[in-house]
């Protein structure tokens, strides 16, 4: 890589890692495995070390990650909660050991323990009582989740025995055991709620629940692994934990004090295998210098203690045979290839299927039927195939060639430019697409039709009762109640659920139609810009592209949707059935005509309203919001940090600059 390539790569990694960080810590929904995340972070750190001139104080490499949630009070940690330096390499464990030895220049013990894969917690005890439980947050301050933590039975609220310090802190990991996690996901699946990707996300998601009763019902567990404070009973970390156990804390018994590197590696090797039998998820081993005095001597870097390191296990991987590849057709017609495998045990569950994502991935793996393949569980629930053991490929085996025609309806698949997936475009006659669209239409965030679910949709489709979403409104209770599985009562429920959906506002109807790329947020924007379905149907590509945040891809898709006669027909039937095809007028009604004929440019950062709100205010008072300054601009609504080039242009053209307070006065005065 050249200098400029490296700088580009740094920027790219920062951007991606920020996003992954957000997915992981804020949304609790990682899209890549921890290992991939760590690898990217490592690459970034290496590149940043080579380019100190490209330092950025907000780089993802300088922070510990944040799980701050606005609804909890934030508390500053008495002692910062740092991260642990971590590695996948035994050579780096050796380096750690040698560094400690050299710095201390005296005998030392290392405490080897499991790295539990949950969410960390800081517990403060005063006079033997739990007074506060705080999440790690950004390391400096975290969320006060005391009420929730109090529901976790293995965390003592009042300590036993005596001899504990007047005030001290315990740190540990809150976990959701495997069996609880699997049960929870089974229930969520039944209720059609999104599944948790792994026990870690389930634990941290639960801990952030606004309702501590929910927390209580989720059966979380906790292991405490570190004691902090001024007057602790012992100088040894391990010894303090033994003491803590007597006071009622749950301490892991998988901990061992050792002196040599060999003993460390023996511990690692043993537990890399044995951990598969533990009831909770683990992702590595933590090594800690045992003496607290020695820990203080070694100190901290900005991010982590110098006296500890985490050795992470390779993601668990299994080798099994590829039996065949099948193809699923989604609601949008996207084709997902699925590997059907000889059942194999992996991280506590039996794996039979793995996602192959798309044709490119199949080609790059050079998959053949009968191949022995490596399966891994990353951050996702569905395992993936990461490699092929070429040495054991059966002679004359058949290469996996991506299908050319839809497995459900037989029509020819297409692949759009810039997209990895293949699509079946036979929207109106391909069964999984029809059923998928109906399922989307009735779902909670769309028309929210109670009483109906994927199974009933499937049944009605099989029975010939529905072929499209408009058919729902022609259903009669009698049609339904004669079906074997449904009684009169549920038939009535379904009919009244469908009837109630007539009240769903226009923007959600728009989302429910399932126009490709028109998700919830886009639907809202579209509904605002085109307050009736007729206005939208009449819009040109140009009209659409001029709406904020609607790009060519979305615009094109909307045009295509309305170009299809079948879709227009369905809309007409839905309109006749009484669905809302127009926005509630109060949402767009004019407030005044104070800005009539004015064209206004918005620039800078505001404090009293968001940019979007100002835009709306301008329009509702009869003005027009335009993007760039010209002679025709009436004035500029300027916040802080208005761009210098805009400022210059405004001055050159002598255009008035108005701040937000003056603007608000202007539209509010009688």
Q: Could you list the active site residues?
A: 115
Residue where the block lists tokens 């399922």: 439
Helix (H) or strand (E) holding 84: none
Nearer to Zn ion, 136 or 437 (CB): 437
Q: Which stretch binds Zn ion (CB under 5 A): 12-20, 356-364, 427-435, 553-561?
A: 427-435
# binding residues, ligand AMP (CB under 6 A): 13
To ligand AMP, the closest distance from the beta carbon of 478 in angstroms equals: 59
Measured distance CA(161)–CA(145) in Å, rounded: 26
Within its chain, how far is the Cα of 408 from the centroid? 31
What's the Cα-to-Cα distance from 574 to each of 185, 524, 603, rounded to whole Å? 36, 19, 42
Q: Which stretch binds ligand AMP (CB under 6 A): 110-118, 177-185, 320-328, 379-387?
A: 110-118
Instruction: Note whether 140 binds Zn ion by CB under 5 A.
Output: no
**From 33, 66, 120, 290, residue interacting with ligand AMP (rule: CB under 6 A):** 120
Q: Which stretch binds ligand AMP (CB under 6 A): 81-89, 91-99, 447-455, 602-610?
A: 81-89
Cβ atoms of residues 351 and 321 within 8 Å? no
Residues 122-151 that bind ligand AMP (CB under 6 A): 136
Instruction: Note whether 424 binds Zn ion by CB under 5 A.
Output: yes
Q: Which stretch binds ligand AMP (CB under 6 A): 82-90, 142-150, 182-190, 613-621?
A: 82-90
* Chosen from ligand AMP, Zn ion, none, partner binding at 116 (C-beta under 5 to 8 Å by type): ligand AMP
Nearer to ligand AMP, 286 or 491 (CB): 286
* Chosen from Zn ion, ligand AMP, none, partner binding at 427 (C-beta under 5 to 8 Å by type): none
Site map (CB under 6 A) of ligand AMP, residues 517-556, x = contact: ----------------------------------------
Nearer to ligand AMP, 283 or 660 (CB): 283
**From 84, 369, 409, 647, residue interacting with Zn ion (rule: CB under 5 A):** 409
To ligand AMP, the closest distance from the beta carbon of 304 in angstroms equals: 7
Residue where the block lists tokens 């009562």: 489
Helix (H) or strand (E) holding 508: helix 506-512
Instruction: Note whether 495 binds ligand AMP by CB under 6 A.
Output: no
Site map (CB under 6 A) of ligand AMP, residues 172-201, x = contact: -x----------------------------
CB count in 10 Å sphere of residue 49: 9
Instruction: Note whether 426 binds ligand AMP by CB under 6 A.
Output: no
Measured distance CA(11)–CA(587) in Å, rounded: 41
Nearer to Zn ion, 400 or 434 (CB): 434
Question: What are the φ/ψ torsions at residue 655 (nearest 5 degrees)?
Answer: -100, 130
Helix (H) or strand (E) holding 4: helix 3-21
Q: How many CA atoms lie within 13 A of 491 on its CB side?
A: 15
Within its chain, how far is the Cα of 541 from the centroid? 33
**From 362, 430, 498, 536, residue interacting with Zn ion (rule: CB under 5 A):** 430
To ligand AMP, the closest distance from the beta carbon of 25 in angstroms equals: 10
Measured distance CA(227)–CA(291) in Å, rounded: 12
**From 198, 252, 291, 426, residue interacting with Zn ion (rule: CB under 5 A):** 426
Cβ atoms of residues 403 and 424 within 8 Å? no
Q: Which stretch binds ligand AMP (CB under 6 A): 66-74, 88-96, 107-115, 365-373?
A: 107-115
Measured distance CA(455)–CA(562) in Å, rounded: 29
What's the Cα-to-Cα distance from 235 to each of 232, 241, 295, rounded to whole Å? 8, 11, 10
Cβ atoms of residues 635 and 602 within 8 Å? no
DSSP 380-408: SSS-EEEEE-GGGPPTTPPBP---SB-TT
Instruction: Note whether 334 binds Zn ion by CB under 5 A.
Output: no
Instruction: Note whether 115 binds ligand AMP by CB under 6 A.
Output: yes
Instruction: Note whether 290 binds ligand AMP by CB under 6 A.
Output: no
What's the Cα-to-Cα distance from 290 to each of 182, 236, 384, rounded to whole Å? 36, 5, 39
To Zn ion, the closest distance from the beta carbon of 329 in angstroms equals: 6
> Going by C-beta distance under 8 Å and a sequence separation of 6 or more, which residues neighbour residue 298?
100, 103, 104, 289, 305, 306, 307
Nearer to ligand AMP, 96 or 506 (CB): 96
Cβ burial of 79 (10 Å; 0-12, 13-18, 19+) is: exposed
Instruction: Note whether 286 binds ligand AMP by CB under 6 A.
Output: yes
To ligand AMP, the closest distance from the beta carbon of 316 in angstroms equals: 17
Q: Which stretch binds ligand AMP (CB under 6 A): 9-17, 79-87, 373-381, 554-562?
A: 79-87
Q: 3-class SS at 209?
A: coil
Measured distance CA(339)–CA(354) in Å, rounded: 5
To ligand AMP, the closest distance from the beta carbon of 295 in angstroms equals: 13
Measured distance CA(547)–CA(319) in Å, rounded: 51
Instruction: Note whether 66 binds ligand AMP by CB under 6 A.
Output: no
Nearer to Zn ion, 339 or 406 (CB): 406
Nearer to ligand AMP, 252 or 603 (CB): 252
To ligand AMP, the closest distance from the beta carbon of 136 in angstroms equals: 6
Instruction: Note whether 116 binds ligand AMP by CB under 6 A.
Output: yes
To ligand AMP, the closest distance from the beta carbon of 289 in angstroms equals: 12
Residue where the block lists tokens 């969410």: 119
Whole-angstrom Cα Rg for the chain: 30
Instruction: Note whether 169 binds ligand AMP by CB under 6 A.
Output: no
Residues 388-407 that bind Zn ion (CB under 5 A): 406
Structural tokens at position 393: 């490929």
Query: Among candidates 143, 516, 104, 97, which has minimal Cα distance to 309?
Result: 97
Nearer to ligand AMP, 43 or 458 (CB): 43
To ligand AMP, the closest distance from the beta carbon of 81 in angstroms equals: 7
What's the Cα-to-Cα distance from 104 to each of 193, 298, 304, rounded to whole Å? 53, 7, 18
Q: Under the rule (CB under 6 A), what is the footprint of ligand AMP? A: 83-84, 86, 113-116, 120, 136, 173, 225, 286, 310
Q: Under the rule (CB under 5 A), what is the footprint of Zn ion? A: 406, 408-409, 424, 426, 430
């Amino acid at each position: 890589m050249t200098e400029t390539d490296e700088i580009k790569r740094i920027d790219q990694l920062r951007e991606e890692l920020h996003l992954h960080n957000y997915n992981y810590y804020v949304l609790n929904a990682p899209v890549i495995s921890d290992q991939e995340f760590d690898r990217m972070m490592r690459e970034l750190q290496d590149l940043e070390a080579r380019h100190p001139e490209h330092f950025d104080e907000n780089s993802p490499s300088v922070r510990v990650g944040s799980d701050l949630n606005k609804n909890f009070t934030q508390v500053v940690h008495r002692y910062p909660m740092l991260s642990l330096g971590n590695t996948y390499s035994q050579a780096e464990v050796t380096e750690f050991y040698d560094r400690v030895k050299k710095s201390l220049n005296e005998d030392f013990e290392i405490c080897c323990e499991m790295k539990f894969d949950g969410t960390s917690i800081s517990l403060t005890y005063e006079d033997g009582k739990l007074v506060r439980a705080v999440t790690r947050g950004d390391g400096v301050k975290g969320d006060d989740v005391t009420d929730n933590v109090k529901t976790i039975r293995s965390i003592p609220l009042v300590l036993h025995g005596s001899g504990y310090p007047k005030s001290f802190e315990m740190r540990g990991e809150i976990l959701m055991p495997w069996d609880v996690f699997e049960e929870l996901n089974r229930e969520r699946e039944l209720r059609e709620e999104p599944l948790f990707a792994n026990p870690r996300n389930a634990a941290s998601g639960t801990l952030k629940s606004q309702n501590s009763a929910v927390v209580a019902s989720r059966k979380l567990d906790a292991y405490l692994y570190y004691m902090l404070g001024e007057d602790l009973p012992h100088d040894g970390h391990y010894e303090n934990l033994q003491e803590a156990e007597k006071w009622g804390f749950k301490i892991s018994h998988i901990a061992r004090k050792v002196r040599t590197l060999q003993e460390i590696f023996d511990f690692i090797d043993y537990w890399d295998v044995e951990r598969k039998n533990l009831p909770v998820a683990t992702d590595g081993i933590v090594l800690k210098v045992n003496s607290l005095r020695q820990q203080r001597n070694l100190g901290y870097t900005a991010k982590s203690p110098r006296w500890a390191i985490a050795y992470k296990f390779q993601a668990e991987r299994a080798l099994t045979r590829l039996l065949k590849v099948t193809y699923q057709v989604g609601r949008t017609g996207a084709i997902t290839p699925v590997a059907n495998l000889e059942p194999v045990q992996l991280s506590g569950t039996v794996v039979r299927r793995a996602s192959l994502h798309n044709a490119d991935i199949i080609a790059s793996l050079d998959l053949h039927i009968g191949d022995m393949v490596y399966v891994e569980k990353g951050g996702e629930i569905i395992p993936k195939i990461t490699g092929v053991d070429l040495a054991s490929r059966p002679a004359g085996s058949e290469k996996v060639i991506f299908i050319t025609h839809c497995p459900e309806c037989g029509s020819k698949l297409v692949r759009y430019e810039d997209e990895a997936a293949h699509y079946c475009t036979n929207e109106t006659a391909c069964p999984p697409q029809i059923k998928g669209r109906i399922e989307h239409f009735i779902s909670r965030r769309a028309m929210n039709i109670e009483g109906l679910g994927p199974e009933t949709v499937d049944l009605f489709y099989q029975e010939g009762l529905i072929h499209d979403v408009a058919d729902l409104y022609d259903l009669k209770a009698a049609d339904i109640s004669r079906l074997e599985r449904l009684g009169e009562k549920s038939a009535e429920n379904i009919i009244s659920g469908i009837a109630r959906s007539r009240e769903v506002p226009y923007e959600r109807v728009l989302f429910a139609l399932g126009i490709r790329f028109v998700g919830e947020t886009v639907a809202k924007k579209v509904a605002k810009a085109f307050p009736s379905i007729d206005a939208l149907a009449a819009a040109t590509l140009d009209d659409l592209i001029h709406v904020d945040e609607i790009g060519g891809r979305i615009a094109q898709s909307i045009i295509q949707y309305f170009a299809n006669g079948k879709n227009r027909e369905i809309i007409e039937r839905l309109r006749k059935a009484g669905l809302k095809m127009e926005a509630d007028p109060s949402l767009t009604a004019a407030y005044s005509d104070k800005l009539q004929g004015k064209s206004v440019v918005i620039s800078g950062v505001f404090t009293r309203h968001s940019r979007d709100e100002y835009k709306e205010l301008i329009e509702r008072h009869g003005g027009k919001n335009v993007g760039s300054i010209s002679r025709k601009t009436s004035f500029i609504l300027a916040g802080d940090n208005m761009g210098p080039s805009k400022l210059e242009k405004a001055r050159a053209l002598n255009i008035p600059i108005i701040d937000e307070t003056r603007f608000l006065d202007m539209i509010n005065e009688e």
